[in-house]
Amino acid sequence: MTSYDLIIVGAGLVGASLAAALRDSGRRIALLEGRPPQPLPQDDSWDVRIYAISPGSRRFLTDIGAWQHMDAGRLCAVERMRVAGDRRSSVLEFSADEIRTEELACILENRLLQAALWQSVQGCDAIDVIAPAEPTALQLDDDAARLTLADGRVLSAPLVVGADGANSWVRQQAGIGAAPRLYRQKGVVANFATEQPHDGVARQWFFPDGILAWLPLPGRRVSMVWSTWDEQADALLTLDAATLCERVAEAGEHALGRLELITPAAAFPLRLLHLERIASHRLALIGDAAHNVHPLAGQGVNLGFQDARELARVLGEAPAGSDIGEHLLLRRYERARKEDIVAMQAVTDGLQRLFNNDNKLLAWLRNTGLAFTDKLGPIKHALVRHALG
């Protein structure tokens, strides 16, 4: 049996960020990962999985020493955002200048951020990275949590953190029931080279049958996320490259001229997961293990980074020698995160229902609402500032 202060299961973006945040806390950490990241490709291909990182998450990633490992040439700042409804006249626009910030978000590739986080946790005396790891049993006892690995090793700690994604094994072992609501939609993602420059503008179109986003990548490139009903998503995946480019360019009003596919399309099922509890005695959940949101606001991983930051803060404030697996302490983390998570779920779910709908009254309401919000300077700016974290 090996004893630690903390066991983190899952070293995806969120789990690795928590370990990095606690690197200098004086606590011994076991970081378990089932599928360690692959070495980065040596060619100049682009990852199909792209994130819009909010300024708040960027600050956190800088504070924990991960951002410094990112290649600046692969990052792209969003300077302006343009959101269009399904009526041409209803458009909402805002810019970083308007709200006096440097950027609205930073667009980057999953595998580069994963590699940067991995670099910041490896080689630390305080962190034992165990990968590949296959946990087989978890006991949450009064005095400690005990986790058994397939190779027979047993790890114990006052606290286990589940950072193991949407289908969290830790959550299941702890008996926390999860009943996700399936949107019956998929997010189809792909990257394109564009004929015209994007000028740092992120574009989004709301249609009755889906939501299309083009996020700017460095150079004349964009990343697409097209969330749409399962049948239509599956149909998009069967298109040959030329037809897909034509479909995507047309849906985006040919805003950037002709498109050329540079990363083949892939798709992810979309779901809403809300849990009543994200902490209990000896257990805390963070990231997708704790919540899933529709990707229309690009906030999933940003919510996860805020979980990691908050949990690190609560653990950091615990008096030396105290039991960090105490439910009373962990409830402070749960309470601190509740409002943010519920608000993001309500907004993304509400927008998805409002827009992906054929009802004529709702069509009038959503288009009028977009155009009206565009004219409400201070309210629009306050909304944007909140989203920046």
Ligand X SMILES: Cc1cc2nc3c(=O)[nH]c(=O)nc-3n(C[C@H](O)[C@H](O)[C@H](O)COP(=O)(O)OP(=O)(O)OC[C@H]3O[C@@H](n4cnc5c(N)ncnc54)[C@H](O)[C@@H]3O)c2cc1C
Determine if 14 is a binding residue for ligand X (CB under 6 A).
yes
Stretch that binds ligand X, among 8-16, 248-256, 330-338, 373-381 (CB under 6 A): 8-16
Determine if 225 is a binding residue for ligand X (CB under 6 A).
yes
Determine if 165 is a binding residue for ligand X (CB under 6 A).
yes
Structure-token pair, residue 264: 């083949």
Determine if 163 is a binding residue for ligand X (CB under 6 A).
yes
Whole-number Å distance between alpha carbons of 222 and 215 = 5
Stretch that binds ligand X, among 3-11, 244-252, 255-263, 345-353 (CB under 6 A): 3-11
For residue 359, how far is the Cα from the chain centroid? Answer: 31
Residue closer to ligand X, measured from CB, 200 or 369: 200
Determine if 33 is a binding residue for ligand X (CB under 6 A).
yes
Q: How many of the other CB atoms lie within 10 Å of CB of 287?
A: 29
- Reading phi first (left if > 0) and then psi (alpha if -120 to 50, else beta), residue 282 is in left
Candidates 55, 85, 187, 210; binder of ligand X (CB under 6 A) is 187
Determine if 9 is a binding residue for ligand X (CB under 6 A).
yes
**Do residues 281 and 264 make contact, with C-beta atoms less than 8 angstroms apart?**
no
Q: What are phi and psi of 152, to 5 degrees?
A: 95, -15
Location of structure tokens 């946990």? 135
Sheet holding 145-149, edge to edge: 2-3, 154-157, 145-149, 135-140
Which residues ranging from 259 to 298 are in contact with ligand X (CB under 6 A)?
Answer: 268, 287-288, 295, 298
Residue closer to ligand X, measured from CB, 85 or 135: 135
Whole-number Å distance between alpha carbons of 39 and 41 = 6
Residue closer to ligand X, measured from CB, 7 or 363: 7
Location of structure tokens 């606001």? 297
Whole-number Å distance between alpha carbons of 315 and 310 = 9
Whole-number Å distance between alpha carbons of 114 and 368 = 41
Binding mask 298-327 for ligand X (x = CB under 6 A): xxxxx-x-----------------------
Residue closer to ligand X, measured from CB, 85 or 300: 300
Q: How much is the CA Rg of the chain, to the nearest whole Å?
A: 21
The alpha helices in the chain, defined as continuous H runs, are 13-21, 55-63, 110-121, 169-173, 230-238, 241-251, 300-317, 327-355, 360-375, 377-387
Stretch that binds ligand X, among 160-168, 273-281, 339-347, 356-364 (CB under 6 A): 160-168
User: What is the size of the binding site for ligand X (CB under 6 A)?
Assistant: 32
Stretch that binds ligand X, among 33-41, 272-280, 336-344, 363-371 (CB under 6 A): 33-41
Candidates 5, 6, 7, 15; binder of ligand X (CB under 6 A) is 15
Location of structure tokens 């564009």? 194
Which residues ranging from 119 to 148 are in contact with ligand X (CB under 6 A)?
Answer: 133, 135
Residue closer to ligand X, measured from CB, 303 or 363: 303
Determine if 8 is a binding residue for ligand X (CB under 6 A).
no
For residue 51, how far is the Cα from the chain centroid? Answer: 7
* Minimum distance, C-beta of residue 293 to ligand X, in the bound complex (Å): 8
* Minimum distance, C-beta of residue 219 to ligand X, in the bound complex (Å): 19
Determine if 164 is a binding residue for ligand X (CB under 6 A).
yes
Q: Closest Cα partner for 165 from 75, 292, 3?
A: 292
Candidates 24, 26, 35, 195; binder of ligand X (CB under 6 A) is 35
Peptide bond into 132 cis (omega under 30): yes
Determine if 252 is a binding residue for ligand X (CB under 6 A).
no
Stretch that binds ligand X, among 31-39, 150-158, 229-237, 243-251 (CB under 6 A): 31-39
**Residue 146 forms beta bridges with which residues?**
139, 156
Determine if 32 is a binding residue for ligand X (CB under 6 A).
yes
Q: How many of the other CB atoms lie within 10 Å of CB of 234?
A: 13
Which residues ranging from 45 to 64 are in contact with ligand X (CB under 6 A)?
Answer: 51-52
Residue closer to ligand X, measured from CB, 362 or 383: 383
Residue closer to ligand X, measured from CB, 9 or 84: 9
Q: What are phi and psi of 357, to 5 degrees?
A: -160, 140
List contacts with ligand X (CB under 6 A).
Answer: 9-15, 32-35, 51-52, 133, 135, 163-165, 169, 187, 189, 225, 268, 287-288, 295, 298-302, 304
